[in-house]
Amino acid sequence: MGGDTSGIDTDAVLDTVVDALREADKPFDAPDESAVRESFFDFEDVTAGEHIEHYWVTEPFALVSIRREEDGELRYHVAEPVLDDFEEHVREDLTEVLRRELVDVDVESADDPEAAFVDHLDDLLARHGAALDPHTQHKLAYYFQRDFVGYGVVDPLMSDPSVEDVSCDGANVPVFVYHADYGNVKTGLTLSEERLDSLVVRLAQRCDRHLSEAKPLLTDTLPDGSRAQVTLESDVATRGSNFTVRKFREEPFTPPELAAYGTFSIPQLAYIWLAVEHNKSVLFVGPTASGKTTSMNAVTLFVPPDDKVVSIEETREVNLPHENWIANVTREAGMGETREEVSTDDLLSEALHQRPDHVIVGEIRVDPDVVRTFFQAMGTGHAGFSTFHAETARDTLRRLRHDPLSVPDELLADLDVISVQHLLELDGDTARRCRWMTEVREAGGERPELHEVFAHDQGTDSIEQTGPSRVLADIARDRGWSEEQLTRELRERQQVLAHLVETDTTGYEESVDWFFRFARERQQVLDEIPARDVAPVNAASETDVRE
């Protein structure tokens, strides 16, 4: 099959396959080109409907095609090598052979254990499948690596950097992905009951955990850092086994990257940069999938490089470049008495004895002990960062005040900033935006007051300052800065951020380098960038600041 079919030049796709397999570092020969062109891919599913885009996720074996089908809905399809009946039979036989022989393979001492394991797979395939056509050997090598090393049938979805979540709600229903550009999209993949059960058990095993009818629920971290929530078919899962994987982004988002996407404005980020530097506490709130953790993780890059940070999470999502960082993860109790539970509250209480400058709690939920300890930490001089499910800043305070959390007003007043983030529909596309950035201010012994500082205008898709900042006024007062000095501090940070956005210097390592150098050798950094006109960020006047 060849030619341009519904937006995909299949000849060009097969050219890529042929070239890649000729260059492949494998212990078997390159396949015959005609065999590749005749039977490597079946393009039927990936060329049906209106073409939106296509791209490789595991070149040259897994090609993603996003289509709009006749029902008007988007579909996410993956083309993988086609196996005929003979090749499927060989695959089944060799799978059992490889499983037996790989039991005793030790690759832990290798510099790259995964690559070493793949080499063993290839060598075993070359030995046991020596009589096979090279075309078949290459296809089987892909599937063995996908199934033994990767995540099996969902591995292409897990390998797609544009996919944020992968989920399956039950047997014989489509697997869904949450795509960075298209939101929730139905895939062309469905799993039988047996296959779904097997995948759920496998995901648990990859977390070094065990599922059973007695304990059918699990939330833990996969080897690549992704967060897996899996449920084995039982009396608590009436539609059968299910799973959701929140993928871990290998390279975290950065502040200039979020500015480039429009999640935050540059003046807003300069404001939060100065606040974080001066030990102000920030709570990132919003509904599910609004990007709260992503934004919190990005903003922590503003923490001064030599400050001490302690993070506490149920599953690992926070990723910091700071050397003086203690990363803690909770632990469930194990079987018997050999593995005690270590809760968020346990770790948070211990963290306060470690003298951190900043405490990060991945998410505060409905455990009153955790929430109270977190706010007590802020009250004793530790800057706090966390995420929380709420729609607005007012909703946040209401939920924190009332049962079951019942945080007293005097502790709520120790929170400085609430950043509210939503997932919006803008011109037919989904986009994450900081809708409001609100300060929490003491109100003379009464309930803390909320004062909006920044707001997003959905009509113009712009973020503007809507009120003066008490936080900035407090920083200026504590530092002994004049209004002119405060303005200069904000302007310099805006200029750095604007330079990084305009020059597309938004990657993780390069952003960290700029922020850390700014903290240590500011003038040298400023000398490297052109001066720019930037929007002023206004602090509250002296008369607004209660001493």
CATH numeric code, 4-246: 3.30.450.380
- Preceding amide of 216 cis, omega within 30: no
The Cα 393–Cα 88 span in angstroms is: 56
CB 185 within 8 A of CB 74: yes
In 169-299, beta strands by DSSP E: 174-179, 183-190, 217-221, 227-231, 242-246, 282-286
Coil vs helix vs strand at 186: strand
pLDDT score of 445: 63
pLDDT in tens, 36-69: 999 999 998 888 889 999 999 999 999 999 999 9
**Among 71, 80, 59, which Cα is nearest to 17's?**
59
Strands, DSSP E only, in 80-213?
163-168, 174-179, 183-190
Query: First CA to last CA across the chain, in angstroms?
Result: 77
What count of other Cβ atoms lies within 10 Å of the Cβ of residue 515? 25
pLDDT on residue 334: 62
pLDDT at 442: 83
pLDDT of amino acid 545? 43
- Do 4-246 and 255-467 fold alike per CATH? no
φ/ψ (deg, to 5) at 324 = -90, 60
What is the pTM for the complete model shown?
0.84
d(CA 319, CA 307): 15
Q: Are 8 and 65 in contact (CB under 8 A)?
A: yes
pLDDT in tens, 90-133: 999 999 988 888 777 776 666 787 888 888 889 989 898 899 99
**CATH label, 255-467, candidates 3.30.70.930, 3.40.50.620, 1.10.150.120, 3.40.50.300:** 3.40.50.300
**Distance, CA of 476 to CA of 117 (rounded, Å):** 57
State yes or no: cis peptide before 60, omega within 30 of 0: yes
Mean pLDDT in order along the chain per 10 residues (547 residues): 67 96 92 94 89 96 95 95 96 90 71 83 89 94 92 96 95 95 94 95 91 88 89 82 90 95 97 98 95 96 98 88 94 65 91 94 90 92 96 97 93 96 88 97 81 96 96 97 96 97 97 98 96 85 47
Question: In this structure, what are the phi and psi dihedrals at residue 306, rounded to the nearest 5 degrees?
Answer: -100, 0
**What per-residue confidence (pLDDT) applies to 547?**
36
- Model pLDDT for residues 480-498, shown as the tens digit of each residue: 999 999 999 999 999 999 9
- From residue 297, give the alpha-carbon distance in Å to each of 232, 360, 421: 31, 9, 14
- Where do the domains of the chain lie? 4-246, 255-467
Nearest of 421, 417, 178 to residue 291 by alpha carbon: 421
Q: In the prediction, which pLDDT does 543 show?
A: 44
